[in-house]
Chain A
Amino acid sequence: MRRWLDDLPKYADDSSWWPKGTKRCRPEVFLIWLGLPLTLLAYFTVGAVLCLALGLNQTNMNDYFAFGVWIVVDLAVIALGAGAFFTSFLNYIVGKTELKPIVNAAVLIGFICYVGAILMLGIDIGQPIRGWFGFWHANVHSMLTEVMFCITTYAIVLTIELLPSVLDNRRISRVPEFGTMGHNLHTIMIVFAAAGTFLSFFHQGSLGGMFGVLYARPFAARGGLGIWPWTFFLFIWSAIAVGPSFTTMIVMLTEKITGRKLTKHSVKMLMGKISGWLLITYMVAKSADTAWWAYIKLPAAGLTMDDMYHSPYGYWLMWVELGLCGWLPALMLVQEKVRESYGLMFLAMLLACIGVTLNRFVFTIQSLALPVLPFESFHAYLPSWQEWGIASLVLGFGLLVFMLAYRYLPIFPQEPELNE
């Protein structure tokens, strides 16, 4: 395969755009690689056109499943993209400068996750043209209002945080105005890191609060502090626990695919350590929350745990989420020996990310699958191919942006010295 690629005729030379001291594949090879995200984006386009032209009847959502795979993916990528705000917070505000080599990558991944989620939500709402009503006629009591405001503003913050990397491109920075602007942005980045932390704290929480406040849905409903149900804090907690893991995983995958070292292993280990200890504390809180829900909340609603788990959404989901993809990766990541091993650390991080994705899945899908009325029927849900198409936007858009950024922007400052 590699030899076949090497035999291709040589076309344009874009090496002057590459980050200083790095090597990238030839442009024609890169174009072939771009086929993957472009195929995914074409798939998304077909699904999006059908949904916008013919309506959401193109999906398998219905009046029982008001939310579907898009909301699951949306919640999951926003949680996984939390590495952006949390790593920035640790680097700029707490002063953990050891994380500096990975901050740009975290911000880039966060940008991809948030922008992808917003684009997907544009298809998800039945009246996309009226999307701005959520801002104009905002209901201050709705958790979704908070989500809309914070996600939008944080996406803007992420764009600003990403801008210095774009302006630091070798060719772009030759323009004096851009060079100066990039330099000045670097100096005030702490302000945006603080703004991002504030906004992210509230929308990560609001996404959890969205389900916790559904007091007429016993599976999701929780008590809490003031106006915030426990899920508000649990969602923040889980997001900051797996965000660093997801960022590190993407960096590790990029290293494997490109065959180049991008950050020192000590940086990855530190990210793993942060994830591990946060996961441990999150799992303690989550386990306590589950016990309270099972022994106090559900009986008060006249229900038991057995009423909450029906095939295909059986008890196995809970054990996989809390055990295999909860406690296990948490206990693995706090071990230094595990973090020293490239493979084991990757595995633990992957399990943690799956666990949080599962958590978002059960809150979205299982909450709605379970009938509250005793004489209502139980339904299961499988997305249509159009829904998968739109859900693949995040992957397609993410791959495209990440590939372009990796090729042309100085995302990994340690790369030149690590690959001399």
Chain B
Amino acid sequence: MVIDLDKCTGCGACSVACMSENNIGVLHDETDKIRSITWMRVYQIDNGKSFPDTEVAFIPRPCMHCQGGTSGTPGQAFFQEDPMEEAAHTPCVSVCPATATDYDEETGIVSQIPTRCIGCRYCVAACPYHARYFNWYDVPWPKGTPRALSPFVSPRMRGVAEKCTFCYQRYQAARNKALVSGGEVGEMDYQTACTEACPSGAITFGQLQNPKHKVHQLISSEYTFRLLERLHTNPKVYYMSKREWVRKKADNYVTRHNKFAQAAPQSGH
């Protein structure tokens, strides 16, 4: 997925579409923002300058579907030039004790099995993007609303973790269709709900490794970056912005001069 932050207006249509598509309920108290469930969350950031130089941007944040770094060996960090280069797995997948979440090598999607989850919340603690949510409440579905739920997505019960799945049910439908017709899953056959809903066309979705897909071309842009690249989580969600201050917000930078910081790789492109 590639999200053009210069096109995003922060309207929240992607969040609403996501909630509707994936049977995310409205809780008793949605003002409790640190417990509300938003698989696609829109952050507002600014350049830190006072009026009239203030600039604002919005960062939609789905699950990053991290692959984890593959260049390092766990535990070898102490002997490497880059001490962060040690991960070879998705942060949340490797920690789940009950194998309730898994990284699919074929699709690159990190799945979640709600009925396997024991609710230990270790994955929530492991995710640096806050993309994982825990069901603190039973969803109070008002009378009649369950009939309006999508039949392709299981509503989650209280006490389990959940997250964006890149609308995996849509992939399954597209794959089944392709199997029947004998073809392949085309670029437009499988699009996430947030991609379809974005009115400004800021979100582009496809196969990153497929040269025919638009996302493949977009990620080679000099303006493309990913969040927290120094951690080597290897996310599947890329962002684009021609504004340098926006790109700078994607990662942490050592603020004071430090000789050890010189060896650290620069974030972004």
Residues of chain A whose beta carbon lies under 8 Å from any beta carbon of chain B: 55-57, 61-64, 66-67, 124-127, 130-131, 133-134, 137-139, 141-145, 148, 210, 213-218, 223-229, 292, 295-297, 299-304, 306-307, 367-368, 372-376, 379
Contacts and interface: CB of A to CB of B under 8 A. Distances in A.
Smallest CB-CB A-B distances: 5 pairs: A126-B119, A126-B159, A223-B77, A302-B252, A372-B128
A122 to B, nearest CB: 11
Contacts of A300: 82-84, 230, 260-261, 263-264
Contacts of B159: 55-56, 125-127
A375 B97 contact: no
B160 A143 contact: no
Interface of B: 34-35, 43, 45, 59, 74-78, 82-84, 86-87, 89, 91, 94-100, 116-122, 124-130, 132-138, 157-161, 227-228, 230-233, 249-256, 258, 260-261, 263-264, 267
Contacts, number: 204
A125 B83 CA distance: 33
A403 to B, nearest CB: 32
Contacts of B157: 127
Contacts of A124: 120
A306 B252 CA distance: 13
Q: Mostly helix, strand, loop or mixed at chain A's interface?
A: loop
A379 B130 CA distance: 13
Given A215-B231, A228-B75, A133 B98 contact: yes
Contacts of A216: 87, 91, 126-128, 228, 231, 233
B251 A302 contact: yes
B98 A139 contact: yes
A224 B264 CA distance: 19
B137 A62 contact: no
B83 A142 contact: no
Given A64-B34, A299-B258, A55 B137 contact: yes
Given A134-B98, A139-B99, A304 B118 contact: no
11 contacts: A67-B121, A125-B159, A126-B121, A127-B119, A133-B100, A210-B122, A213-B95, A214-B91, A216-B87, A300-B83, A373-B130
A225 B75 contact: yes
B137 A57 contact: yes
A297 to B, nearest CB: 5
A127 B94 contact: no
Nearest to B80: A223
A145 B231 contact: no
Given A66-B124, A127-B118, A301-B230, A376 B84 contact: no
A134 B231 contact: no
A126 B158 contact: yes
Contacts of B75: 223-229
Contacts of A226: 74-75
A301 B78 CA distance: 14
Given A225-B75, A372-B228, A66 B130 contact: no
A57 B35 contact: yes
